[in-house]
A and B are shown apart, each in its own frame.
Chain A
Amino acid sequence: MKDREVATRRRKVTGKWEYTWHLWATLLLHIIAIVLFTRGFLLTRTELPYYSNSSDVSESQCVYSSSHNNASSWTKPAVNRLIIIVLDALRFDFVAPSTFFPESKRWMDKLEVLKDVVSKNPTSARIFKAIADPPTTSLQRLKGLTTGGLPTFVDVGNSFGAPAIVEDNFLNQVDNGCIEHLFPSLYEDDWDVLISHFLGVDHAGHIFGVDSTPMIEKLEQYNSILEKVIEVLEKESGPGSLHENTLLVVMGDHGQTLNGDHGGGGAEEVETAIFAMSVKKPPSSVPVEYDTSSCQLDLDGKNVCVSTMQQLDFAATMSALLGIPFPYGSIGQVNPELYALGAGSWNSDASQELSESDIWMQNYANTLCINSWQVKRYIDAYSASSAVGFSSDDLSQVASVYAQAETQWLCSTKKLLLDKNKGTDALVPALKKQIEAYFNFLRTVAELARSKWTEFDLYMMGTGIAIMSISLIFQVLVILRANSQDGATLASSGYGWIFSASTFAFFLLGMRAVSFLSNSFILEEGKVAIFLLSTSGIVALRKSVVKGELLKESVGFLLLCTFCRFGIEIGLSKQSATSAFMKEYTSWILNIASDLPVWNHAAEVVPILVLILLAFWLYKATSGIFFGWTRKIVILCTILTYILIIVHWITENNRYVLAFMPESIGRTYIPRIIYAILLGQLLLLAFAQLFKGNCSDCKTNLVAKTTAMLAAWSSTIILLSGKQGPAVAFASIIGGYCIMRLCDIEDENGPKRSLSIGPFPVMQWNLFATCLFFCSGHWCAFDGLHYGAAFIGFEEFMLIPQAIILTLDTYGFSIILPIFGLPFLVATKYKADLGKHVLFRQLSQIYTTYGLITAIMTMFTIFCVTLHRRHLMVWGLFAPKFVFDVFGLILTDILICLASLYYFDQGKDDHHHN
Chain B
Amino acid sequence: MDRRRKREKTTVIKPSTVDSQSAPKISPSETFIVALSCVFGLGIALYVANSGFSIDLVTDPSRTIFFISLVELPIAILLFSRYRQNPRKCTYLRALGRGLLAVPIGALLNCLGAIALGAPVTFQFLPRTVNWSLMMSLFTAVPASCVLGSSWAHWKRIFAQTRPNGSVEYLICLPAHGAVIGGWFGAWPMPLDWERPWQEWPICVSYGAIGGYLVGLVASCVFVLACDRSQHVKQT
Contacts and interface: CB of A to CB of B under 8 A. Distances in A.
B193 A542 contact: no
Contacts of B161: 546
Contact of B160 (A511, A530, A545): A545
Nearest to A504: B5
Nearest to B199: A520
Contacts of A520: 191-193
Contacts of A691: none
A528 B187 CA distance: 10
Interface stretch (A35-43, A531-539, A848-856): A531-539
Contacts of B56: none
A558 B116 contact: yes
Interface of B: 1-5, 7-8, 11, 113, 115-118, 121-123, 156, 159-161, 184, 187-188, 191-193
A521 B191 contact: yes
B193 A539 contact: no
Contact of B5 (A519, A521, A542, A561): A542
B156 A545 contact: yes
Interface residues of A, number: 31
A539 B2 contact: yes
Contact of A588 (B2, B5, B122, B184): B122
A523 B116 contact: no
Given A542-B3, A542-B4, A546-B156, A562 B116 contact: yes
Q: By CB atoms of chain B within 10 A, which of A496, A518, A531, A559 has the most? A: A531
User: Lowest 7 A-B CB distances belong to which pairs?
Assistant: A524-B191, A545-B160, A520-B193, A534-B116, A520-B192, A546-B160, A562-B116
B8 A534 contact: no
Contacts of B8: 500
A501 to B, nearest CB: 11
A528 B189 CA distance: 11
Given A530-B118, A531-B117, A561-B116, A541 B3 contact: yes
B117 A534 contact: yes
Given A531-B118, A545-B156, A546-B160, A538 B191 contact: no
B2 A538 contact: yes
A535 B184 contact: yes
A538 B118 contact: no
A91 interface: no
A565 interface: yes
A306 B118 CA distance: 52
Nearest to B180: A538
B176 to A, nearest CB: 13
Nearest to B161: A546
Contacts of A515: 188
A543 B5 CA distance: 10
Nearest to A873: B193
Contacts of B123: 588
Contact of B117 (A500, A518, A521, A535): A535
A538 B113 contact: yes
Q: By CB atoms of chain A within 10 A, which of B3, B122, B184, B187 has the most? A: B3
A829 interface: no
Given A538-B1, A588-B121, 12 more contacts: A511-B188, A520-B191, A520-B193, A531-B117, A535-B117, A537-B116, A538-B5, A542-B160, A543-B160, A546-B161, A565-B115, A565-B117
B3 A518 contact: no
20 contacts: A500-B8, A515-B188, A518-B192, A521-B191, A523-B193, A527-B191, A530-B117, A534-B116, A534-B118, A535-B1, A535-B184, A538-B113, A542-B5, A542-B159, A546-B160, A562-B116, A565-B118, A588-B121, A588-B122, A588-B123
A542 B11 CA distance: 18
B191 A528 contact: yes
A538 B192 contact: no
B5 A527 contact: no
A437 B50 CA distance: 72
A497 to B, nearest CB: 10
Nearest to A515: B188
B193 to A, nearest CB: 4
Contacts of A537: 116
Contacts of A561: 116
Nearest to B122: A588
B160 A523 contact: no
Nearest to B193: A520
Contacts of B116: 534, 537-538, 558-559, 561-562, 565
A558 B187 CA distance: 18
A559 B116 CA distance: 7
A530 B160 CA distance: 22
B184 to A, nearest CB: 7
A500 B7 contact: yes
Nearest to A503: B8
Interface string A558-579: 1101100100000000000000
Interface string A473-513: 00000000000000000000000100010001000000100
Contacts of B193: 519-520, 523
B7 A535 contact: no
A811 B8 CA distance: 38
Contacts of A523: 191, 193
A539 B192 contact: no
Contacts of B160: 542-543, 545-546
Contacts of B117: 530-531, 534-535, 565
A535 B191 contact: no
Interface string A128-141: 00000000000000
A535 B184 CA distance: 9
Interface string A281-306: 00000000000000000000000000
B122 to A, nearest CB: 6
Nearest to A581: B193
A597 B99 CA distance: 47
Nearest to A508: B2
Contacts of A531: 117-118, 187
Contacts of A559: 116
Nearest to B184: A535
B4 A527 contact: no
A878 to B, nearest CB: 14
A346 to B, nearest CB: 54
Contacts of A504: 5
B182 to A, nearest CB: 14
Contacts of A518: 192
A580 to B, nearest CB: 14
A364 B5 CA distance: 75
A498 to B, nearest CB: 13
Contacts of A558: 116
A518 B156 CA distance: 38
A558 B8 CA distance: 24
A221 to B, nearest CB: 28
Q: By CB atoms of chain B within 10 A, which of A518, A523, A539, A545 has the most? A: A545
Contacts of B2: 535, 538-539
A518 B190 CA distance: 12
A871 to B, nearest CB: 12
Contacts of A588: 121-123
A236 to B, nearest CB: 49
B201 to A, nearest CB: 12
Contacts of A543: 160
Nearest to B8: A500
A588 B121 CA distance: 9
Contacts of A527: 118, 191
Nearest to B7: A500
A765 to B, nearest CB: 19
A557 B224 CA distance: 37
A496 B192 CA distance: 37
Contacts of B122: 588
B112 to A, nearest CB: 8
Nearest to A496: B11
Contacts of B115: 562, 565
B179 to A, nearest CB: 15
